[in-house]
Amino acid sequence: MKKGKKTAFVLLALVLALTAVLAGCSGSSSGGGSGSGESSGNAAANAGKEGGEASGLKPVELVMVFAGPGEPRDFKEIEAAINKVTQAKINATVKLQMIGWAAWQQQTTLMLAGNEQVDLILSGLGTYSQTVARGQYLAMDDMLEMEGAGVKQALDDLDPAFLNAVKIGGNVYAVPSIRDLAANYGVTMRRDLVDKYNIDLDAIKTYDDLDAVFQTIKDNEPDMIPLVKYGNTIFDTHLNYYRDSLDDGFGTLPGLDNDLKVVNYFETPEYMDLLRIARRWYENGYVAKDIATSTETQYNLVKSGKAFAWLSHMKPGYQAQESKIVGMEMVSKELLPPTTATGNITSIMWSIARNSKDPQRAMMLLNLMYTDPELINLFDWGIEGKHYAKTDDPNVIDYPQGVDPANSGYNLNMGWMFGNQFLSYTWKGDSPTLWEELAEFNRVSKKSKALGFTYDSEPVKTEVAAVRNVFDQYYKALETGTVDPEVEHPKFIKAMKAAGIDKIIAEKQKQLDAWAAQQ
């Protein structure tokens, strides 16, 4: 009996794998990719359905846990529609559990601590290695060969480096969603003012070139702050270009290489230069006096007419995305080319929990999320005709008549989370070839030399605790220019040393060397 079931599993897995490969291949062929992806996806669906019924997969309920901003109004309807798909294809129903961002870490740690059923769970969000160290995820290497072949195929099509980058101790505990796995860095400004003052975008190549721009705004728009922070500071995400943070930023690889020699980035002259720029902008009045404490988002500040620009990480389609959010035409200019470090990949991933009642079936569900456009579009955009409608171009969608962002019952807009975003439709206003552009972007980005290295802070956790407190004390004020770096920066470095940064670096170097030796 048992043996029979196992054989059935294998058979089904093979069928699924085959169809997945088909879907994957057609997906990566150029032009109208998602269209042909869809048709073969349907073929896959039919095959899966037959396979599922033929091999008599027992019905099972899977619990899928992920983070989000709160359930949209039509969440239950989406869940029902998703269930229809999964029931037909893998004879499983899916219970979706959305957890708030802030509660995420605590809640999931708790859920995974007991025997609560969690099958598929979003992982990463900065806590991948810790969760693996706590033994809360299953290794999925074998399943990726069998039930999850479509996942593996889709990721390898992108670049085999990506799946390699998530290994811990040689095992894969999570698969990254297919999205922007790299980031470039630049400045985003209000288009109307750029035009009004004839600001030459091509002339902006470095931070120093921005001074003139900001000065123009400051002179002509006295009520406006030329630059606002993004995240916590002026440069926040830009730092990811300058160094591979190697998980926590304490002990890094400058230039994402540095011959794998770990150094304290905060001590480098390059960091000091950034601080001087921040200080200069602060003193020239390009940023607000209360920048360090402000709780307003850049969107609200720009929307209210109070601010002009921000510096952030970007990706293809960023300009359109931000314009949509702000509700004003924005223009983005790249200053630094795309890079990929382990953190870019491990930030959004999917894992199978130790508590899973049926890991194989969870993997099949994951497989669908990487191969089945019908399912992916349900997650990403909702129900056709209700939450989106096709336009003349079958791969481009828009709001149905009478629906707008404010009254839509499902506008999560988190396609980058649910598996393979590249199989989803593109929204009207975005580039129709957005996914191809993103794939290319991921491919050409400069990869960190330590790509795939994950670090375990356990041996130095006492020091990390202390250094984290020192960091919190200084970095915001320094990176917003609120304090004089010539005075405060030396104190920062001294305090870090006192807190044990050197010990952390030594430990990280040791782990990195060991990792490099295995490659």
Nearer to other proteins, 44 or 63 (CB): 63
Considering only residues 172 through 191, tell me which ones interact with other proteins, judged by CB under 8 A: 183
* Interacting residue with other proteins among 40, 216, 240, 332 (CB under 8 A): 240
Nearer to other proteins, 47 or 112 (CB): 112
Considering only residues 123 through 142, tell me which ones interact with other proteins, judged by CB under 8 A: 125-127, 130, 133-136
CB of 333 vs other proteins, minimal distance in Å: 18
Considering only residues 55 through 84, tell me which ones interact with other proteins, judged by CB under 8 A: 69-71, 75
CB burial string 388-398: b at 16+ within 10 A, e below: beeeeeebbbe
Which x/- pattern over 282-311 shows residues binding other proteins (rule: CB under 8 A)?
------xxx-xx-xxxxxxx-xxxx-----
Considering only residues 344 through 363, tell me which ones interact with other proteins, judged by CB under 8 A: 344, 347-348, 354
DSSP-derived secondary structure letter, 225: E
Q: Would you count residue 168 as binding other proteins (CB under 8 A)? A: no
Q: Would you count residue 36 as binding other proteins (CB under 8 A)? A: no
Question: Which is it for strands 253-254 and 243-244: parallel, antiparallel or unpaired?
Answer: antiparallel
How far is 320 from 365, CA to CA, in rounded Å? 32
Stretch that binds other proteins, among 141-149, 204-212, 444-452, 458-466 (CB under 8 A): 458-466
Considering only residues 201 through 230, tell me which ones interact with other proteins, judged by CB under 8 A: 230
Question: Which is it for strands 120-124 and 60-68: parallel, antiparallel or unpaired?
Answer: parallel
| Amino acid sitting at position 100 | G
HEC string of 315-354? CCCHHHHHHHHHCCCEEEEEEEEEEECHHHHHCEEEEEEC
* Interacting residue with other proteins among 12, 477, 504, 512 (CB under 8 A): 477
Q: Would you count residue 343 as binding other proteins (CB under 8 A)? A: yes
* Interacting residue with other proteins among 32, 35, 231, 432 (CB under 8 A): 231
Please count the helices (runs of H) and the strands (runs of E) in the chain.
21, 17
Considering only residues 88 through 107, tell me which ones interact with other proteins, judged by CB under 8 A: 97-107
Q: What tokens does 161 get?
A: 């480096």
Q: How many residues bind other proteins (CB under 8 A)?
A: 90
Nearer to other proteins, 54 or 465 (CB): 465
Bridge partners of residue 326, in order along the sequence: none
Distances (CA, A) of 310 to 65, 160, 270, 298, 435: 33, 34, 21, 7, 25
Q: Would you count residue 192 as binding other proteins (CB under 8 A)? A: no
Nearer to other proteins, 102 or 517 (CB): 102
> Residue 243 belongs to what H/E stretch?
strand 243-244
Nearest to 396, CA basis, from 409, 419, 377: 377
Nearer to other proteins, 31 or 402 (CB): 402
CB of 324 vs other proteins, minimal distance in Å: 9
Q: How many CB atoms lie within 10 A of CB 417?
A: 20
CB of 30 vs other proteins, minimal distance in Å: 27
For residue 69, is it left (φ>0), alpha (ψ between -120 and 50) or beta? alpha
Which x/- pattern over 382-411 shows residues binding other proteins (rule: CB under 8 A)?
------------------------------
CB of 317 vs other proteins, minimal distance in Å: 11
Q: How many CB atoms lie within 10 A of CB 407?
A: 10
